[in-house]
């Protein structure tokens, strides 16, 4: 009998020694539905301050070694009478919230944990006494369950996850094309799904609120200022060159500084959206013009978001990547997911290269081990990323994913411009204002091209099918800057290979004549960043002398 009692005592001591206690701070929980932005429901100072009976509260943790587990709440209320219901591991327990000024331990049941993985504690209000349901400072977990993981930080965001697309240094990429799809139910508020990231900026779609969604394109300034753009010298700031209709462009800070642009647009979950960013590098001036384009499926047209000129650059597109970000954190217990498909880059010579490999990574929240619910992979020849939701990770930092090549090269038709009608009105008003101010003169217009015959020609008439030999000078109507001109020798072109404005306007001139064409952007380069000197949506002025034609 004595031997049996001694053995039982040893067992009791061994179990006691194996038991551990961890304390989950109450400020790391989540309200269901989500609390309002100005709410003081969760704070480091007081933990959980719970007042709304319509909201439940949840806490999640990960168990790596099974065993027994006892739950205890550290709770208080100014008055007695509040009741809570705790749901955990398939069981329910009714709890009484103690009255008093100090936090008191409230036993919340013993449980057997038979499987490793994530577990969630949910609290519901059964009865509210006074102005508060309960103040809770922490939840204690005690038992033989070991290696319990939980987020100890007040930052409740899921870890941001990234996908980087390796590109050889020898590839001079002038365009990066990607297709993004958010599955239904994964389009969470306060989430940014970024498709076309590059060394100097990023481009994607965002859920700002229950009623507003955006397409966002931003480019960073040069220099090291991380917070306040007013401290950035003008020589380091990116310059806005053009933006699409209804696009808002302004500054951004607090994550580096730069030029920001966004278009409020009700994009939909389940719909695929192509995005493309282009780069026009000028090594002589060490600048690069970055332009973001978004394809609007219901219009089957491309929309210019914005074009920015970046100083201290002069490089092609580099460090290409995509990511998913939960940027507020109040709904960090929910899972975001995004698919990226059919990635391509266009080389300087016009050829296209498909990108079929991506490398997985995550942000500081993941690196610190605060959140371990993230992942990525390949399905149906598309990459995917996910974060949040307290699901087991299915990818590790630095893991490489390969997808099958689809061979579906982007077919970009810049004449299908989502803002063409409104831009045509702007161009016409700009031309008419220049005429009114006598900055230009016109004889008339033909199919939208304004012209002035500067000298009558006596030779053959020009036909749209001709190859023409000309002297010319091209300038911008906006500021008169010259973007191109012939030198001592004339230039020879098949007219049908030139912009529509030349095809419409030049046949009004004969050989030996000279004509000025004022060409709206829709008949010129539309929304394209055609050259370093021609921003998108530019009205062009050409002075052309026709020397010869070849039928």
Burial class (CB in 10 A: 0-12, 13-18, 19+), 270: exposed
pLDDT for 405 equals: 95
pLDDT for 529 equals: 80
Any idea which of 185-189, 196-200, 290-294, 442-446 has the lowest mean pLDDT?
Answer: 442-446
pLDDT for 11 equals: 38
95/133 Cα distance (integer angstroms): 12
Phi and psi at residue 224, to the nearest 5°: -115, 5
Task: Give the end of a domain, one of 149, 177, 196.
Answer: 149
Would you state the structure tokens that stand for residue 9, as one six-digit string?
A: 């005592």
Looking at the structure, do residues 138 and 170 belong to the same domain, yes or no? no
Q: The CATH number of the domain where 215 resides is what?
A: 2.60.120
Could you tell me which residues come within 8 angstroms of residue 383 by beta carbon, excluding any fewer than 6 positions away?
A: 163, 322, 339, 340, 341, 358, 376, 377, 401, 403
Please report which helix (H) or strand (E) contains residue 311, including its range: none
Share of the chain above pLDDT 90, in %: 91
Domain that holds residue 98: 22-149
- Confirm whether 426 is domain-assigned: yes
Looking at the structure, do residues 340 and 217 belong to the same domain, yes or no? yes
Looking at the structure, do residues 449 and 387 belong to the same domain, yes or no? no
Total domains present in the chain: 3
- Confirm whether 156 is domain-assigned: no
Could you tell me which residues come within 8 angstroms of residue 378 by beta carbon, excluding any fewer than 6 positions away?
A: 384, 401, 402, 403
526 dihedral zone (left: phi>0; alpha: psi -120 to 50; beta):
left
Beta bridge partners of 296: 301
| pLDDT, average across residues 329-333 | 94
Any idea which of 405-414, 507-516, 528-537 has the lowest mean pLDDT?
Answer: 528-537
| pLDDT, average across residues 37-62 | 94
Does residue 17 surpass a pLDDT of 80? no
Does residue 443 surpass a pLDDT of 90? no
| pLDDT, average across residues 524-535 | 88
Are 303 and 154 in contact by the 8 Å Cβ rule? The answer is no
pLDDT for 311 equals: 97
- Confirm whether 12 is domain-assigned: no
Does residue 115 surpass a pLDDT of 60? yes
- Confirm whether 285 is domain-assigned: yes
454/470 Cα distance (integer angstroms): 15
- Which residue, among 526, 128, 119, 511, has the nearest Cα to 333 in the 3D structure? 119
- Confirm whether 412 is domain-assigned: no
| pLDDT, average across residues 159-178 | 96
Would you state the structure tokens that stand for residue 353, as one six-digit string?
A: 């290269």
Looking at the structure, do residues 282 and 361 belong to the same domain, yes or no? yes
Average model confidence (pLDDT) across the chain: 93
- Which residue, among 215, 233, 216, has the nearest Cα to 224 in the 3D structure? 233
pLDDT class for 18, splitting at 50, 70, 90?
Answer: low
Does residue 389 surpass a pLDDT of 60? yes
Looking at the structure, do residues 36 and 59 belong to the same domain, yes or no? yes
Looking at the structure, do residues 170 and 144 belong to the same domain, yes or no? no
316/290 Cα distance (integer angstroms): 10
Task: Give the end of a domain, one of 149, 177, 192.
Answer: 149
Does residue 177 surpass a pLDDT of 70? yes
Q: The CATH number of the domain where 27 resides is what?
A: 2.60.120.260
Phi and psi at residue 525, to the nearest 5°: -105, 10
Task: Give the end of a domain, one of 149, 178, 196.
Answer: 149
pLDDT for 54 equals: 95
Does residue 12 surpass a pLDDT of 60? no
Looking at the structure, do residues 196 and 311 belong to the same domain, yes or no? yes
Looking at the structure, do residues 301 and 441 belong to the same domain, yes or no? no
pLDDT tens digits for range 255-303: 899 999 999 999 999 999 999 999 999 999 999 999 999 999 999 999 9
pLDDT for 59 equals: 98
Looking at the structure, do residues 209 and 316 belong to the same domain, yes or no? yes
pLDDT for 8 equals: 39
- Confirm whether 13 is domain-assigned: no
- Confirm whether 409 is domain-assigned: no
pLDDT for 361 equals: 98
Looking at the structure, do residues 288 and 384 belong to the same domain, yes or no? yes
How far apart, in Å, are the Cα atoms of 456 and each of 491, 513, 548? 20, 5, 14
Reported pTM: 0.91
| pLDDT, average across residues 459-473 | 94
Looking at the structure, do residues 248 and 331 belong to the same domain, yes or no? yes
The better pLDDT of the pair 204, 169 is held by 204
Looking at the structure, do residues 59 and 205 belong to the same domain, yes or no? no
Q: The CATH number of the domain where 537 resides is what?
A: 3.10.50.40
Share of the chain above pLDDT 70, in %: 97
């Amino acid at each position: 009998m004595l031997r049996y009692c001694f053995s039982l005592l040893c067992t009791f001591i061994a179990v006691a020694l194996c038991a551990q206690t961890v304390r989950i701070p109450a400020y790391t929980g989540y309200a269901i539905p989500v609390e309002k932005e100005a709410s003081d429901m969760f704070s480091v100072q007081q933990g959980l301050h719970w007042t709304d009976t319509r909201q439940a509260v949840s806490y999640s943790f990960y168990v790596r070694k099974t065993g027994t587990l006892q739950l205890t709440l550290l709770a208080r209320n100014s008055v007695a009478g509040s009741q809570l219901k705790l749901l955990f591991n398939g069981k329910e327990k009714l709890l009484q919230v103690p009255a008093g000024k100090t936090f008191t331990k409230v036993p919340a049941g013993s449980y057997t944990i038979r499987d490793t993985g994530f577990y969630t504690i949910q609290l519901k209000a059964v009865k509210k006494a006074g102005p508060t349901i309960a103040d809770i400072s922490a939840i204690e977990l005690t038992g033989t369950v070991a290696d319990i993981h939980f987020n100890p930080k007040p930052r409740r965001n899921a870890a941001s996850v990234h996908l980087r697309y390796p590109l050889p240094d020898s590839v001079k990429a002038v365009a990066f094309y990607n297709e993004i799809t958010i599955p239904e139910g994964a389009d969470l508020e306060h989430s940014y799904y970024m498709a076309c990231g590059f060394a100097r900026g990023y481009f994607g779609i965002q859920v700002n609120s229950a009623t507003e969604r955006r397409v966002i394109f931003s480019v960073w300034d040069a220099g090291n200022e991380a917070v306040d753009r007013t401290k950035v010298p003008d020589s380091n700031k990116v310059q806005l060159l053009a933006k699409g209709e209804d696009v808002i462009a302004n500054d951004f800070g607090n994550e580096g500084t730069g030029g920001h642009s966004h278009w409020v647009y009700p994009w939909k979950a389940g719909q695929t959206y192509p995005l493309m960013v282009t780069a026009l590098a000028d090594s002589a001036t060490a600048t690069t013009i970055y332009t973001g384009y978004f394809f609007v499926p219901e219009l089957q047209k491309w929309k210019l978001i914005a074009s920015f000129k970046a100083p201290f650059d002069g490089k092609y597109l580099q460090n290409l990547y995509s990511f998913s970000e939960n940027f507020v954190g109040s709904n960090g217990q929910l899972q975001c997911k995004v698919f990226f498909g059919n990635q391509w880059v266009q080389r300087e010579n016009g050829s296209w290269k498909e990108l079929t490999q991506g490398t997985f990574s995550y942000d500081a929240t993941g690196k610190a081990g605060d959140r371990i619910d993230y992942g990525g992979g390949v399905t149906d020849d598309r990459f995917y990323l996910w974060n949040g939701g307290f699901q087991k990770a299915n990818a590790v930092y630095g893991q490489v994913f390969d997808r099958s090549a689809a061979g579906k090269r982007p077919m970009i038709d810049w004449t299908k411009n989502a803002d063409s009608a409104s831009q045509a009105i702007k161009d016409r008003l700009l031309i008419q204002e220049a005429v009114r101010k006598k900055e230009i003169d016109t004889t008339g217009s033909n199919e939208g091209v304004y012209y002035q015959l500067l000298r009558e020609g006596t030779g053959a008439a020009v036909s749209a099918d001709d190859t023409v030999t000309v002297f010319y000078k091209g300038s911008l109507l906006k500021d008169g800057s010259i973007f191109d001109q012939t030198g001592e020798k004339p230039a020879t072109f098949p007219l049908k290979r030139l912009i529509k404005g030349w095809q419409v306007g030049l046949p009004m001139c004969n050989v030996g004549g000279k004509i000025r064409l004022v060409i709206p952007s829709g008949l010129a380069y539309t929304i394209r960043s055609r050259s370093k000197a021609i921003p998108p949506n530019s009205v062009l002025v050409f002075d052309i002398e026709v020397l010869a034609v070849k039928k």
